[in-house]
Amino acid sequence: MIDIHKYSTVRESQFYTKLKNDKVRCDLCERRCVILPNEMGVCKTRINLEGRLYTLVYGDLSAIESRPIEIKPFFHYYPGSTALTFSTWSCNFKCPWCQNYHLSKVPPNPSSANFYPPERLVQLSKKFGDAGLCASFQEPTLLTDYCIPTFSLGREAGLYCCYVSNGYMTIKALKKLREAGMDGLKIDVKGNSETYSKYCGGVDVEVVWRNAKTALELGMHVEIVNLVITGVNDSEGCIREVVEKHVKLLGEDTPIHFTRYYPAYKFLNPPTSIEKLEEAYRIAKEMGVKYPYIGNVLGHPYEDTYCPNCGYELIKRYGCRILKCRLTRDKRCPRCGESISIKGRVFRG
């Protein structure tokens, strides 16, 4: 086997437990892979070398880009700002409709990696005028060993730090991220338990909801996205099940986005009908959610933020752009005075 210790992107992980006969258990995500010597876990980003678990993606960045925070989508987290967004390779889920499959379905290769030390990301964010750091594009949990020191430096520099995630990390990993400075978590909820078992590789949806609830309890801002996929999770029963969990565990103030699916990767079902998304929006409102949204439908009025008390249009959007913000400086409705649940500064342009 090629000696991979020499590569900058190969580092011993802090998330594993040693087992007998040089086996290890990865403690980064809730798959908790038991890995034999010289073998990798499901995600292909971690390898057991002589009874120690190494990440192969420490600072191996597949993409770096300054992007609007609304594109994640985060609508109630530093609205109007941009974040230096970065990613690595591979994923711990197996969703056949993945929109970023050119990153998530590619395993890392340390011999050709692009290594960025944590301080370089902070420097770039300042250069581009970004307000924060965001690990996104593919599953950021796999980059956690790297994000912890990166977020720590980012927090010291006055940057917000967030994940756009499938929400399948362990509680230990989530707490370590919070300690390092992560204060925003957007989680993609794929549907109900049947959706996860059939399409996502046999993972447990209850872990996702547990982590969303724990993140809130740790003081993070949380938003939920449900990609509504034709013929998969678009039944009224499935949508109601998702919304019921959302309200019960996360509360009525936590935003939920119903996003339009388009065919991608290995999945060719037709795009989600706008009527189905509007139905999901109405169901969420009916069940008490204060801030439901529709995504991937440019110019739709349900992209906008309305006062949950009087219905006044507070933030008008066009996709990831804020066209008009009528919030008061203390983030209240100017018509009725209702306090609007928003984390951080509102960037008004």
Q: Per-residue pLDDT tens for 32-65? A: 999 999 999 999 999 999 999 999 999 999 999 9
**What's the pLDDT tens digit per position in 89-103?**
999 999 999 999 999
Query: What is the per-residue pLDDT for 102?
Result: 96
pLDDT of residue 286: 98
Q: 63-290: what CATH class?
A: alpha beta
Closest CA to 45 of 31, 37, 56: 56
> Confidence class of residue 146 from pLDDT cuts 50, 70 and 90?
very high
307-337 pLDDT tens trace: 999 999 999 999 999 999 999 999 999 999 9
One-letter amino acid for residue 349 of the chain: G
Pairing of β 132-135 and β 11-12 = unpaired
Q: What is the dihedral of CA 235, 236, 238, 239, to 10 degrees?
A: 120
Segment 162-176 shows an average pLDDT of 98
* pLDDT at residue 1 is higher than 80: no
> What average pLDDT does this structure show over 257-283?
97
The predicted pLDDT at position 245 comes to: 98
Closest CA to 161 of 172, 170, 144, 171: 144
Mean pLDDT of the region 177-198 = 97
What is the pLDDT of the chain when averaged over all its residues?
97
Tell me the pLDDT band of 2, cut-offs 50, 70 and 90. low
Question: Of the candidates 141, 144, 146, 147, which has an alpha carbon nearest to the alpha carbon of residue 161?
Answer: 147
Q: Is the pLDDT of residue 15 over 80?
A: yes
Burial pattern 165-188, b for ≥16 Cβ within 10 A else e, equals bbbbbbeebbebbbebbbbbbbbb
Return the pLDDT at 348. 79
The fraction of the chain above a pLDDT of 90, given in percent, is 97
The pLDDT value given to residue 30: 98
Can you give the pLDDT at residue 349? Answer: 59
pLDDT of residue 321: 95
Contact in structure between 33 and 125 (CB atoms under 8 Å): no
Q: Answer yes or no: is pLDDT of 155 > 80.
A: yes
User: By the 8 A CB rule, do 276 and 265 touch?
Assistant: no
Q: How confident is the model over 93-114, as a mean pLDDT?
A: 95
SS3 category, 86: strand
Task: Give the global pTM.
Answer: 0.97
To which H or E segment does residue 102 belong? Answer: helix 101-104
DSSP string over 190-203? --SHHHHHHHSSS-
- Domain limits, CATH 3.20.20.70, in the chain: 63-290
| Proportion of the chain above pLDDT 70, given as a percent | 99
pLDDT for position 108: 97
